Chain A
Amino acid sequence: MAELVLQVRGLRVLRDGVPVVDDVSFALPAESDTALVGPNGAGKSTVVAAVLGLLPRQAGDVRLLGQPLSPQGRWPRSVRTQVAYLPQSLAVEGRFPLTVRDFVGFGFDPAGPRWPWSGAAGRRQAIERALERTQCSALSARLISELSGGQWKRVQLAFCVVRPRRLLVLDEAQAGLDAPSSERFQQLLLDLRRQEGWTVLQVSHDLEMVRRSCDQVLCLNRQLRCSGSPDHALSAQRLAELYGPGYVPYQHHHAPLP
């Protein structure tokens, strides 16, 4: 039986006294790619935030690599460094004085206080390698505010891959990308997942991408409505139950990602 990287049991999160998500349970086997899908307001981002300890939870047991998330939303240090997270958007407005290389470097550094000159050589090598692996070497001196949407997403992957991790959590990582950029991002994510042994949890509205690249789908609408393989969870009947009877899925029939 595959190792379970993340286990969530009976998760409940209230907002203003009203449950946003309730009784959500799932597990992510090692090196799997799981999509969390559902309509707007279903609580997908809330589940992600609660699992990462960013939102208080009212009930539920969350374990990462067997270690429990504390009631205050803190991971033990040994497992906290094993998680990378990319939120929906980052506040990069106007001219932001941070180069791609410097940004990726912040993904390498530990969470606590650090003198800027400590471990400089190993840090530099790790940054170069991460940029190379995400096809971002040519962008290293660019400002992060000068990048296109697709480039910025690849740089964010470099930020994640700059040090070894076990779990990668993406919240609508491909939102706003055009089809070729989205395709390139997904292929890169797949390659890195295989090379790094990442377990991936991604919130997505792109059901075609989910169908082609994910191993497991969690259908959420405040509660977990169904879960399983893409063929099982994304059947027309289950999608109609999840999104409402008027929902008609449109299939592009792309070839599945290799």
Chain B
Amino acid sequence: MAAVEALPALLALPFMQRALLGGLLTGALGGLLGSVAVLRQLSFFSDALGHSALLGISLGILLGVNPTLVLVPFAVLFALLVNQLVQRSRLPTDALLNIVYSTSLALAVLALSLVDTYRGNIQPLLFGDILGISWPDLWVIAGLSVLALGYLIVSLRAQVLVILSDDLAGAFGVQISAHRLAFIVLLAVVVAVSIKAVGVLLISAFVVIPACAARLVSRRFSSYVLTSVLLGGSCAVLGLLGSGLTNLPSGPCVVVVQFAGFLLALLWSRLVVRT
């Protein structure tokens, strides 16, 4: 009851308003790209990208540059490098990603240990600091959301055919390499931009959990994408409100709410969808 009474005061705080808007956009964007990433078996890619981003952040700190400025080019470069490795190497993708991200993580820790003067708190990097999100951050996320939505709408057929089979897509005139590259770069940019809010350890949850939950309850592809977007956005808002009311860390709160949403979807799929 006390929590409900505290809600209006919480919603009146400008940083909380920014955080809720940021959570809504980041969650929805994660759900949008996640819906394709999960079907294209790129779930682990977003996880590896998130973990490897720590190396970008560490390099930024080591070079005395704002880590946020280093993060986007680093993530894009990482995505392109991994894409090339996956295409040219004959190793399984998950094993290759494991090698790249554990090495990046090791290098990141080594780089951080070389920085004597860094007095910042590592926790916001790991788990995000959505309460510290600014208006420029929000504009960037909003712009990315529009870009991602537009791209996925006009390339829906190509995305589905590539998911089903590269050969099928290629035979029907889809430029497979271009679409693969475009999606991976978009995912890398979104992950990099969202890390400030969500953190390197939890970013993959934003991409994977809403999409998996939506997959359990959707029958049409359009409703699957829409459900994933709605779940991503709503779970982020609920998690942030819970975080604000209980004074618990925001990123983990959002992920716990996402997981609860996933369990509900699982239950729904057992009770309703299959009957």
Chain A residues with CB under 8 Å of chain B are 49, 52-54, 75, 77, 80-81, 83-87, 89-92, 94-99, 102-103, 106-107, 109-116, 141, 143, 169
A109–B171 touching, CB < 8 Å: no
- Which residues in B have their C-beta under 8 angstroms from that of A49? 167
Contact assessment for B219 and A99 in the assembled complex, using a CB-CB cutoff below 8 Å:
yes
Nearest CB of A to B43, in Å: 12
Q: Which residue of B lies closest to A97 (CB)?
A: B224
What's the dominant secondary structure at chain A's contact region? loop
B interface bracket (residues with beta carbon within 8 Å of A): 20 to 34
B219 to A92, Cβ gap below 8 A? no
CB pair B154–A102 under 8 Å, yes or no, is no
Is the CB–CB distance between B220 and A80 below 8 Å? no
Please count the residue pairs between chain A and chain B whose beta carbons lie under 8 angstroms apart in the complex.
81
Q: Which of A98, A107, A112, A113 contacts B220 (CB 8 A)?
A: A98
| CB <8 Å contact, A91 and B167 | no
Is the Cβ of A97 less than 8 Å from the Cβ of B167? Answer: no
Is B153 part of the contact surface with A, judged by Cβ < 8 Å? yes
Q: A44–B155 Cα gap in the complex (Å)?
A: 31
For the complex with contacts A52-B171, A103-B160, 4 further pairs of A-B residues with Cβ separation under 8 Å are: A53-B171, A54-B171, A87-B165, A95-B216
CB-defined contacts of B218 to chain A, threshold 8 Å? 97
* CB of B270 within 8 Å of the partner chain: no
Point out the residues of chain B lying under 8 angstroms from A169, CB to CB.
171
- Tell me if B103 counts as interface (CB < 8 A to partner A): no
* Contact assessment for A80 and B160 in the assembled complex, using a CB-CB cutoff below 8 Å: no
Cβ–Cβ contact A52 & B170, under 8 A: yes
Asked whether A91 lies within 8 Å of B163 as measured between CB atoms, the reply is yes
Give Cα A83–Cα B170 distance, bound, in whole angstroms.
11
Q: Is B105's CB within 8 Å of the partner chain A?
A: no
B168 within 8 A of A: yes
B165 touches A90 (CB 8 A): yes
Option from A77, A87, A97 in Cβ contact (under 8 Å) with B221: A97
